[in-house]
Structures are given as C-alpha cells and as structure tokens.
Structure 1
Amino acid sequence: MNIHDSFYIDGEWRKACSSQSTEVIDPATERPIARIALGNEEDVDRAVNAARNAFPAFSQWSREQRLALLERILVEYRARREELALRVSEEMGAPLGFALEWQVGIGEAHIARMIEVLKHYEFESSRGSTLVVKEPVGVVALITPWNWPLNQITCKVMPALAAGCTMVLKPSEIAPLDALVFAEILDSAGVPAGVFNLVNGTGVEVGEALSRHPQIDMVSFTGSTRAGVAVAKAGADTVKRIHQELGGKSANILLPDLTTEAGLERAVRQGVLSCFSNTGQSCNAPTRMLVPRQHYQEAVGYAVQAAAGVKVGPPKAADTTIGPLISALQFERVQSWIACGIEEGATVAIGGLGKPQGLDQGYYVKPTIFTDVTAGMRIAQEEIFGPVLVMIAYEDVEHAVALANDSPYGLAAYVQSNDLDTARGVARRLRAGTIAINYPAWDSSAPFGGYKRSGNGREYADFGLDEFLEIKGITGYASAH
C-alpha cells in the first residue's frame, strides 16, 4: 500500500504537520490501496503563505509567459493520461475505458480550451478616457469533489493560472490519488514555486481553514449544497469571493411530439444511460424524466429495457458499463433513498434495494427506475447521487415546464423534441444554468453552473476565467491633463 505523507507546498513535497491520516479505499474491492496524510491549520498556513509570497511576481507574468506554461502543462498531462486513468479507476471505481475517455479526457479538454481562451482574452479595454483592467483576484482556494476529480481540478486550476492567481488545492480525501499525479504534472511543467500548492484533508479541517483564512481572496468550491453553505458562512467574515458549483436534480423533458415512431425510444434510452453514467454520481445527471401521460407506459417499457442492458461490474472488466459507488457511506445513502421511494409509494420498475447478483464485494448498486412518481415525493426533489431515475407523467407542456422548475436546484435541464423551435422555446423557460437540447455532444466552451441552490458563478472557458479576475477602472488614463 502506497503511503503519501507529504503535501506539495512552495514547489516541493513537504511532510505534513499533522499526524492524522486516512486510507484510500478501492470501492470495487473495499480494500485500502493507499494512505494519505490529512492536513491541519498549520499545513494550510504554510500553503497559503507560499501562495501569498508567490503572487506579486506571478501576477505580473505576461500573457505569453502564462500561455507557454499552460502549453507545457498540456504536454505533461497527455504524457500521463493512462496513469491518471488508472488512479481514477482505482480510487472511485470508474470503468477503465470511461476513466480514460471521459474522466481524463475532459480534463485534457479544459486545458486545451483555456489555452485557446487565453490567446484572445481581453484583459484591458478603453471607455473614453477610462482604462478598464481585469486583474487576478489574488490567492485562491480550490476545493474539489471526488465524482469528477480531474474535470473539477482542471476547470479551476487552469483559469486560475491563466488569470495570474496563485492557489491552494484541496482535493477530496476520498479520491486524492489523481490530484497527487496532477501536482507532479504541474511541477514537471515548471509552475513556479508557491504558485500551485496542494493540501489533502477533510472539509471540516482543511476546507474550513481555507474558507476562513484571511489571506485567501476567493474560494472556488464544488460539492454538495450543504457543504457549499458551510464554505460561504466560513468565508463571510473576511468578505472573500465565494464561487459555488453545488447539487442538482435535473429534469429531462420528453416533449409530446416524440411519438413511438419518431424518437421516443431513442430519447428514453439515452436519458436512462445519461442518468446512470458515472454510476449516477454526476451533479448534472438527468435524474427526473418527465414524460407525456399519453406516452408514459410506452416510455416506461423502453426505460426498463435500457436499464436491463446496463452492465454493472468490476472497473477493469471489458463489458462493464458502470462500476461501484465511491464509498460505503454513499452506498448506504443510495440504499436509504431507494427505501424512501418505496415507502413513499413509488413503483420499482427495475432495480431496487441490495446489490446486483454476484457482486457481493464492492459498493455496487442495482440501477433503479421508479415509476408512478409524483412531484412532491422526496425522491423527486432531493439529489440521490446514484443510478436512480424517477419517471413523472405530465399533462401538457405548461405542466412539464412547471414540474421542471419545481425544484430547489437549478444546475441543468434537458429537452428532447423533433421540433427544434419548440425545444428552444421550452429551454428558454427553464430555470437552470445549462440546458441541453436533444443530447448534444459535451461542449467545453459552454458555461457551466447553476441557479438557486445549485450555486453561483460559472465555470469552463472564458466564463471560468472571468471568475478569477477583478475589474479595475482607471479614470483619466487617456486624458491629456
């Protein structure tokens, strides 16, 4: 078992001040694969001080210098794609092919996209005699989750570097191994000492210390809504900027024109697979399928067929579609939500409580579809974060829009239709940060973030870069007097 007792601080690996540690568990075997140190307030202080000391010089780097740095990072990242995929697969149970193509691939796409954004981004503009300047916000804390670790690390670290910020990263202590490799990548690419720092630890200890630290100018947090509220409260006393990407309960509206002959089966099937992807552990997963009442029973039949074709199994098996949940705690949470749905009177069309047959070891769950669900049920309102889909019947388009918006969350929503103009009209009425029409390809240039309890601010491309910049107005800059 590998032991990681050091943190990357000020350009080198320094042994943790804290004596606390935790095991990293392979969710497919329930066995430990590594042990990492858990940082404390002293470790945070060392990392923040290193970032603060590095900020004056790094914030003055030219666009060309930062571009060259990001390009070197991309080269190093690509050279270690297979290693990153293996680490992600081991620590969170993602099928190996999925980990390489999506978990690692999305991180690579964010790096490449930020390079293109930085080439053309306008950091200065003139308004009469006033010069408007966008400058780095300062020292930033980046707190990232376990479910899409490299996606969230790269879509925070890359714009922070592009902006000229210095930073401290706290990855999830449940899935930290890919972040350790990422730190090595940045070191090999020549990121100056103190610009990037990494401290492992819990949210209660390290996350709290970063959020309330007086020398942190901004916190960019991705995680649960509950934890996001705690981060905001901890940062309030120092009036720092808090950027949050939180939970979701995304609606997937199948519009009435999707008849059996013209796309209902395809729309249902893709919706099921999208919901179950990454073992349902995605904050923007389409977990509420809204179906016209006249097509409801047909849709249920297609959904059950699609779910039956999902192969749950070991991450390294070639035919595995989805792997285990991340942890024993997450397994118990998902089981409790399935039990809740049964108690509320919803019908289990497929799946249900317990583990799939033959998978007694590992945090595996049965892909589950609930039918006869009403909007007021807790399984229709709360984020489950597992492969659990609820199917809700609606009467007309007005009812569908109302159901979609009847949620405390607003991260994403999905619209399926044979008529693009109709889909566009519905998309404009949905209160969510990202709307996907007819299952488009993932787009690294689209803004990502939510309304309501799904957070604030946006990530990806120039929208992500905006978040790490302050705006300064210099009046009289062009005046002759």
Structure 2
Amino acid sequence: MNNAQKFYINGEWVEPIGRRTLDVIDPATEQPFATIAMGTVADAERAVAAARSAFASFSETSKTERLELLNRILVILKRRNDEIGDIISKEMGAPVCMARSQQAGIGLSHFAETIKAMEAFEFDYMQGTTQIVHEPVGVVGMITPWNWPINQIACKVAPALATGCTMVLKPSEIAPLNAILFAEILHEAGVPKGVFNLVNGDGPTVGTVLASHPDIDMVSFTGSTRAGISVAQAAAPTVKRVHQELGGKSPNIVLRSADMETAVSAGVRRCVDNSGQSCNAPTRLLVPMERMDEAIGIARRTADAITVGAPADPATDIGPVVNQPQFEKIQELIGKGIVEGAELVAGGPGRPAHLNAGYYVRPTVFARVTSDMTIAREEIFGPVLAILGYESEDDAIAIANDTPYGLAAYIQGDLAEARALSRKLRAGIVRINNSAWDGAAPFGGYKQSGNGREYGKFGLHEFTEIKGVVGYADNEAIS
C-alpha cells in the first residue's frame, strides 16, 4: 500500500512530520503485514488548519453540488468494495465473505442512505416570518474504532460532507489501512482540498488534539465508554459539540410466546457474529426461569456448531479477535465467570483445540448468570454470551435495564407483546424478532452508551447548527 506511511492533508498525500511508525498485525497469524506512520501533535494541527481553511468555501456549496459529490463517492466505493473488505479481514480478522458483504458493504449503505435522506432534507424553511436554517456545524474531528471500521467512518463522513462540514479523521491505529483506501476513494471522487483529512495515530496524541483543539467545532467519537469520558473531558474547555457512540451490554429478552429454538439459536449466533466485537451485540440472553434447561441445550448445540477458523476459509463462521490485549481481556473475563459461579455451557478458556496460533476465542456460553456477576455487567467484546433467567415480564425489564449501558435491546416473541415492552427498555434502538439491520434507523445510546444519533436523517441533524432568522419575511401585516 503506497500511502501507508503518509497522511492525507489538504488534498495531498504528505510525509509525516515525525518518524514514529507502527506495525499492523494480522490477528490470524499474530504477524505484522504492514507498517503505518503515527502522527504527532504537529501533524494533527496541520490537518486541522487545512480543514479550517477549507470550511469557508465548502460550507457555501449548494445541496446539488454536495449530492453530486456523494454520488461520485458511492460509485467508487462500489467498485472498490471487495478490496476494502479484504483489507479489513486482514486487519481485524473478520471472515472474508463477511468482511466484503457486511463490513465493507455497510459503508456503501451509509452513503446510499445519506444521499436518500439528503434529497428530502430541508436545509432552510419558513416558520411564520422566521427563517429556520440548518447550517454546517463546522470543522469536525472524527475518532473511529477498529471493530466495524468503514461502518463508523462512513456514517460520520457521509453526513459531514452532506451538510457542508470539513473534517479530520483519526481511524483506529489497530485497523488503519481501510481508512487509507477510503481516503484514496474520496480523492478520486474530487473532494475539494482540505475538506477531508486523514492522520493516523493514537488517542493520547492525535485524538487529544482533535478533542481539545479550539478550531475543531465538533468531535464525533466511537469507542469504549472509558475513552469517551477522556474525549469529553478534553473537549469541555472549548465547549465544542461532543457526539459519542460508546459501549453496550445489550439484553435479548425471549418472551414465553417465542419459539425457543429459533430465538435462542439466533441469539447465540447474533452475539458471536464478528467474533463478538460489536458494541450492540446481544450479550445478555434473558429466558423464562422455568425454561432455562431448554435454553441451555439449544445454546450449547448452537455454540458447538459455530466454526472458528482462518478468515480466508469459506467454512469459517467467526475469525480471531483483533489483538493480544483483547484476547487476554476476554480470557480473564471468562475466568471470572467460572470463578463467580456461572454455569459454563459451551466453550471456555483458551483457543479452539485445532488452532495453535492467532487470537482465536472459543464461542462461550454461560448460564444461570445473575446480574451482579462480572460477565453480566462488563462489556466483554468477545464471543461470550450470558444467559439469565427471569420470573415475569416486569422482572425481565428490570434485569434488562439493570446496566450502566443503553445502546441496544432485543425482544423475541409475540409482536404485540414486544411492541409494548419496547417502550419500557432504556436503550437507543430496540430490535424485534431478529429484524434486519436498518441503515435509516437512529443509532446511538442512552446512559453511558453515549449521546447523539447516527444514520440517515438523524446523522444529518447531528452535523448541523440551527439558526433562526427572525423577521426574514415581511411582517408589516402582522404588526
């Protein structure tokens, strides 16, 4: 990759100011396969200056001009989709087929949904004699994670471009190469100089600059709650807008009206998808207490049938987790589940027996878990499911809401029952009966899962300021 040790600033691939580099590790082999440059404070400030300079002109472009730009980007994203998927698979371990169709494919969906939402979006309208105007929020600092990298890049960059913002992106240094491909696509599409800038680096260096810089008007962050708190603290002195999508510990309530086989097996698979590395994964499965044994049997069979293996193998269901620290954290939490008395139903410590290298984790299910156990409270971010029992629907709601997080929740069973219960769950998105992903639905969390919403028209609102021009229309008749 020609640009791996460069940054994209002011419409050009430029040499970094510092000399620090970092190896990118293939989690399937534990070996480096690329090297990137790591940005300094000076690199980040250079990118912020470019974005600030470009804002004056790009913020005044027309809706038509920006729609044409988004459509050009979408065309090139489609052409390079498999290339993006392949590099994501290499960086963070997702199976190749899944990386192409879901990891890279969701980036396409976000641009398509943003275009659709933008076509219907009213940037200005009249409210009596007052004009209401949606204007770009300004220069945006974007800090994105490694687990769904293009997903989180696209759902920030697309609405920022749509609303006339300029930006500096710091992708995760763990999975940075897909962002370099993305920058190449934006360059080919003709994004004006300085509108989009990319600087690789770590959070304490580049991330802190973006969060604290007085010329950054908004910081949009996706990552852990711990890191999100640091971003908010760094942003506070400049009173910039802070948008955060953080951690989760999502409940999946199986109602008595549900088909247990369908609900539990789907719940296990959805939990371990992407090797469990999804902030909205349904990691707490709530089942009626009297059907716990039945649920355990289904969960065991489902987990044991999941194939863990090399990302390039078409038979693989889940690949490795992203790196050694993540592997070790998951192993520690599996150990805590055992020590604290949860019933180990499937999986457990260590790699699958047929794999002697790579950060592979056995799909693990614990049952008879209680809400005070560590595995029921902490975000594990691995293929580990906790099954909890409930006595009544009120009990299920209380257990589901007994968490500092509130990103997502799931309900399986009778539709009318599920609709009623959805209003009682303190979560930003509720999915009923294994519903398909909706790229136009608002995405974001309650409580310590963050603030603000992404996707579709909700993303457009996040990247705008609202201005009221009072007396814009002739009000003589009124006065």
Structure 2 length normalisation: TM-score?
0.98
Q: Which residue is 2:263 aligned to? A: 267
Q: Which residue is 2:163 aligned to? A: 163
For residues 123 and 281 of structure 1, the distance between their equivalents in structure 2, rounded to whole angstroms, comes to 37
- Describe how 1:140-289 pairs up with structure 2 within 5 A: 140-258=140-258, 263-289=259-285
For residues 128 and 60 of structure 1, the distance between their equivalents in structure 2, rounded to whole angstroms, comes to 25
For residues 86 and 18 of structure 2, the distance between their equivalents in structure 1, rounded to whole angstroms, comes to 28
Q: Which residue is 2:470 aligned to? A: 475
- Alignment length, in residue pairs? 476
Q: Which residue is 2:78 aligned to? A: 78
Aligned counterpart for 2:366 among listed residues 370, 377, 381: 370
The answer to whether the 8 A contact 1:2-1:33 is kept is: no
Q: Per the alignment, do residues 453 and 133 of structure 1 end up closer, same or farther by CA in structure 2, a change over 3 Å counting?
A: same
SS across alignment from 2:410? strand
Q: CA deviation at 1:2?
A: 7.1
1:290 aligns with 2:290: no
SS across alignment from 2:238? coil
SS across alignment from 1:4? coil
Moved more, 126-135 or 156-165: 126-135
SS across alignment from 1:402? helix
Aligned counterpart for 1:461 among listed residues 436, 456, 460: 456
1:321 aligns with 2:317: yes
Q: Which residue is 2:395 aligned to? A: 399
Aligned counterpart for 2:419 among listed residues 401, 404, 424: 424
For residues 466 and 280 of structure 1, the distance between their equivalents in structure 2, rounded to whole angstroms, comes to 30
For residues 277 and 4 of structure 2, the distance between their equivalents in structure 1, rounded to whole angstroms, comes to 26
For residues 40 and 425 of structure 1, the distance between their equivalents in structure 2, rounded to whole angstroms, comes to 51
**Structure 1 residue identity aligned to 2:248:** G
Q: Which residue is 2:334 aligned to? A: 338
For residues 322 and 8 of structure 1, the distance between their equivalents in structure 2, rounded to whole angstroms, comes to 33
The answer to whether the 8 A contact 1:2-1:35 is kept is: no
Q: CA deviation at 1:4?
A: 2.1
Q: String of CA shifts for 1:173-219, please: whole Å, max 9, x gaps.
A: 00001000000000000000000000000011110111000100000
Q: CA deviation at 1:135?
A: 0.1
**Structure 1 residue identity aligned to 2:340:** E
Q: Which residue is 2:17 aligned to? A: 17
Q: CA deviation at 1:479?
A: 2.3
Q: Per the alignment, do residues 167 and 3 of structure 1 end up closer, same or farther by CA in structure 2, a change over 3 Å counting?
A: closer
Q: Which residue is 1:379 aligned to? A: 375
**Structure 2 residue identity aligned to 1:365:** V
SS across alignment from 1:422? helix
Q: String of CA shifts for 1:9-63, please: whole Å, max 9, x gaps.
A: 0000011111111100000000101100110110011100000000010000101
For residues 72 and 4 of structure 1, the distance between their equivalents in structure 2, rounded to whole angstroms, comes to 24
For residues 276 and 301 of structure 1, the distance between their equivalents in structure 2, rounded to whole angstroms, comes to 17
**Structure 2 residue identity aligned to 1:29:** T
Runs of 4+ more than 3 Å apart: none
SS across alignment from 2:113? helix
1:95 aligns with 2:95: yes
For residues 372 and 422 of structure 1, the distance between their equivalents in structure 2, rounded to whole angstroms, comes to 25
